[in-house]
Amino acid sequence: DAKTTQPTSMDCAEGRAANLPCNHSTISGNEYVYWYRQIHSQGPQYIIHGLKNNETNEMASLIITEDRKSSTLILPHATLRDTAVYYCIVRVRGTDKLIFGTGTRLQVFP
Amino acid sequence: DAGITQSPRHKVTETGTPVTLRCHQTENHRYMYWYRQDPGHGLRLIHYSYGVKDTDKGEVSDGYSVSRSKTEDFLLTLESATSSQTSVYFCAISESTREEAFFGQGTRLTVV
């Protein structure tokens, strides 16, 4: 099963781009990469997902390397409300499970 | 927001008593999940369902059982609650294994 590795914490200045890395070196060809975030004690919120191409939506951009072994979530203009724990997840091959890791705690400061 | 409701939102119960948490959805999604979250941990999958009466274990299923008798409801039961099951429980739903999951607001359970 593909697992992910993320830094424990990161800081970002308000208004700057936040780039959150994720390593998923054992990902298989048909597994998607998902990003969620959890603000305080709320339920996790979906951000974006992708298979091999870069993706962009109103919240963020997802850059996946050509070999698919890593990806980066980009928040183009971080705000204080983006302070949260960000989870990078790979859908477990052959099963329907959605397994979370421990995530990256992003602190956006003024 | 996805139509997903967890009940109760807060519960305090005594050790040894049975407890059932309910997750209700109005989206007709096939997949439903139960997670727990403890301080210092991310979300850990307890059980999930891939259809009516179709369920499977997650990472931390010991001490928990689930049932899904209809598409919209996924019940999580603690047969005999223990203090180690004090946690925040989240339910999630998704249409397919390739679609995003939507989460409920959580149930805070305290076992005393």
Interface test with B, best of A46, A48, A49, A93 (most B CBs within 10 A): A46
- pLDDT given at position A21: 97
For residues A88-101, average pLDDT: 80
Tell me the pLDDT tens digit for each residue of A59-94.
999 999 999 999 999 999 999 999 999 999 988 766
Report the distance separating Cα A52 and Cα A29, nearest Å.
9
Question: Quick one: which H or E segment has residue B99?
Answer: none
Confidence label for A110 from pLDDT (cuts 50, 70 and 90):
very high
CB proximity B2 to A under 8 Å:
no
Q: Which two three-digit tokens encode residue A87?
A: 């989870």
Of B34, B19, B38, the closest CA to residue B81 belongs to: B19
- pLDDT given at position A41: 82
Report the distance separating Cα B90 and Cα B34, nearest Å.
6
Report the distance separating Cα B92 and Cα A59, nearest Å.
21
Flag if B42 and A49 touch (Cβ within 8 Å). Answer: no
Q: Which two three-digit tokens encode residue A31?
A: 């597994």
Question: Would you give per-residue pLDDT tens digits along chain B (112 residues)?
Answer: 569 999 999 999 999 999 999 999 999 999 999 999 998 778 999 999 999 999 999 999 999 999 999 999 999 999 999 999 999 999 999 998 878 899 999 999 999 9
- pLDDT given at position A35: 95
Which residue in B has a C-alpha nearest to residue A33's C-alpha?
Answer: B98
Tell me the pLDDT tens digit for each residue of A1-33.
558 999 999 999 999 999 999 999 988 888 889
For residues A44-72, average pLDDT: 94
For residues A31-46, average pLDDT: 91
Q: Are strands B19-25 and B73-78 parallel, antiparallel or unpaired?
A: antiparallel
Amino acid letter for position B100: E
Instruction: Answer yes or no: are the C-beta atoms of B105 and B40 closer than 8 Å.
Output: no
